[in-house]
Structure 1
Amino acid sequence: MDHVVESELVANVIAVHVAPDQDVAQGDELVLLESMKMEIPVLAEHAGRVRSVKVDVGDVVQEGEALVVLSVD
């Protein structure tokens, strides 16, 4: 089953910590966003494997935009 990790706000992508086929644990930091001078870590809600990364450093994401797709059991 796939789980799409979405942005909760409009922000800049300042770091991407995962790559496709990488295993992640619940709570691992996937992406780091910046909005209004605040850094917002985006964490894995579930353990799984990264199927795809939808953003790159420097991208501006909108609220609800897909950041990472995880394959979870």
Structure 2
Amino acid sequence: MKQVAANMAGTVINVLVQVGDEISAGQDVVVLESMKMEVPVQAEVAGKVVEVKANIGDFVNEGDILVSVE
């Protein structure tokens, strides 16, 4: 199983995928707000979303797992 991790600390302001979605490499999956900027987090791999760990309003640290992909 592959995972998409936060590339910086911030607050989750949008989750763009759901369990069961097919995603492609480079697709935005979560949007973080950090230092008053919106920062999209992109999947590095293609596959099917099997778990979404990020919820709107969550604060995440760099390296936290946001989405699991199979």
- Structure 1 and Structure 2 fold alike (TM over 0.5): yes
Q: State the partner residue of 1:45.
A: 44
Q: State the partner residue of 1:15.
A: 14
Following TM superposition, the consecutive aligned residue runs of length 4 or more in structure 1 with deviations greater than 6 angstroms are none
Residue pairs, 1:1-73, within 5 angstroms: 2-71=1-70
Structure 1 unaligned segments of length 5 or more: list them.
none
How many residue pairs were aligned? 70
Alpha-carbon shift at residue 8 of structure 1 (Å): 1.7
Q: When the two structures are superposed, what TM-score results if normalisation uses the length of structure 2?
A: 0.94
Alpha-carbon shift at residue 44 of structure 1 (Å): 1.2
Q: Deviations over 1:19-57 (max 9, x none)?
A: 001101111110000100111101111110001000100
Q: What fraction of aligned residue pairs are identical, expressed as a percent?
A: 43
